[in-house]
Amino acid sequence: MIEKIITGALLVSTLTLNAIAYDSDKAKCFDKYYSHFTQQACAKSKFYIDGEEMMKMIRDKNKFTFLDIRTKGEIGVVGVKATNLLEIPIEHLFEAKNLDRLPKDELLVVVCYSGTRAIAAATSLKMLGFTNTRVMKFGIMGLAKANSVKNAPLK
């Protein structure tokens, strides 16, 4: 009898945990956001900026903000010098004071070391309404690879 009660309690608790295993409001938010990711939309997506395009934008003095979300240690080893640069490590990016620093009316290019964190950050920023957000393809390494005498901005 006790075995049946224990088994029943385990079954009920397992079913209950599975039923509430995720945040349904958050799932609806994700569904609304990702439902637009059709094959056609993905094919036309301009989510990434490659190194060559970024170097051209810098040379042409296009208006954009370069958001470096790497750690202070990473930035200390390899840094970017630009007047349009914001350095906000990803662990502080979504604090209200830092979100308020981000432009809503111009292109925002997010960069990290390899592009992985930038994808997550840019996707989240887009969900928050920063619709003109793109990712530096292959991160700071992609930019460094594209930097050459041919591509570097003239001083």
pLDDT tens sequence across 17-35: 555 677 888 888 888 878 8
Q: What is the CATH number of the domain that holds 86?
A: 3.40.250.10
Structural contact between residues 137 and 113, judged by C-beta atoms closer than 8 angstroms: no
Residues 110 and 58 in one domain: yes
pTM: 0.74
Give the count of domains, the chain. Answer: 2
Query: Span 39-57, mean pLDDT?
Result: 84
Residues 10 and 67 in one domain: no
Give the span between the Cα atoms of 155 and 138, in whole angstroms. Answer: 26
Q: Is pLDDT at 72 greater than 80 in this prediction?
A: yes
Residues 141 and 120 in one domain: yes
Residues 56 and 24 in one domain: no
Position 137 in a domain: yes
First-to-final CA distance of the chain: 84
Full domain range(s) for residue 8: 2-40
Residues 78 and 131 in one domain: yes
pLDDT tens sequence across 81-138: 777 889 999 999 999 999 999 998 899 999 998 889 999 999 999 999 999 999 999 9
Q: What pLDDT, on the 0 to 100 scale, is given for residue 24?
A: 84
Q: What pLDDT, on the 0 to 100 scale, is given for residue 25?
A: 86
Position 72 in a domain: yes
Residues 29 and 65 in one domain: no
